[in-house]
Amino acid sequence: MDLSRFSDKELIEEWAFSLASQEAIETFFDDYSAEVTLPFRTEIHKRGLDNHPKVIEADKKLIQYALKEKPYPPVITDNYEPPLEYWWWHIDKIGEKTYPAELLPEPLRELYLQEF
């Protein structure tokens, strides 16, 4: 999917909407939604928008969900191998608490380490 046509605001809104409620987050992991949605987070990162308040808020929701529910890895059907630094693709490792904490942004790292 070519995300270059999306404005920064649209990317952030899509990411925040995807994680707006418990039901949305559960849907995110129950089907192929992650494969469609996670590229938005990757594009947010590539554009340097990681520290936007709405992004941080949505990221925290995802981390909290992972720590509580220990989800399966996101389904990836196109042979994409996300780098470990793209923590949002490795949410299963976060849930298992095997993800390297030093690779998480500071606000998320604190949340992750609190759960130990």
Q: Above 60 in pLDDT, residue 24?
A: yes
CA dist 40 and 69 (Å) reads 23
State the pLDDT at residue 77.
Answer: 67
Quick one: pLDDT band at residue 115, thresholds 50, 70, 90?
low
Which one, of 116, 108, 110, lies nearest residue 90 by Cα? 108
Average pLDDT along the chain: 88
pTM of the model: 0.88
In degrees rounded to 5, what are phi and psi of residue 91?
A: -65, -30
State the pLDDT at residue 98.
Answer: 94
Percentage of the chain beyond pLDDT 70 is 91
Q: Long-range contacts of range 48-54, CB-CB < 8 Å, 24 or more positions apart?
A: 49/8, 49/11, 49/12, 50/105, 51/105, 52/12, 54/12, 54/13, 54/15, 54/16
In tens, the pLDDT along 62-109 reads: 999 889 888 777 766 677 788 999 999 998 899 999 999 999 999 899
The residue type of 73 is: P
Quick one: pLDDT band at residue 113, thresholds 50, 70, 90?
very high
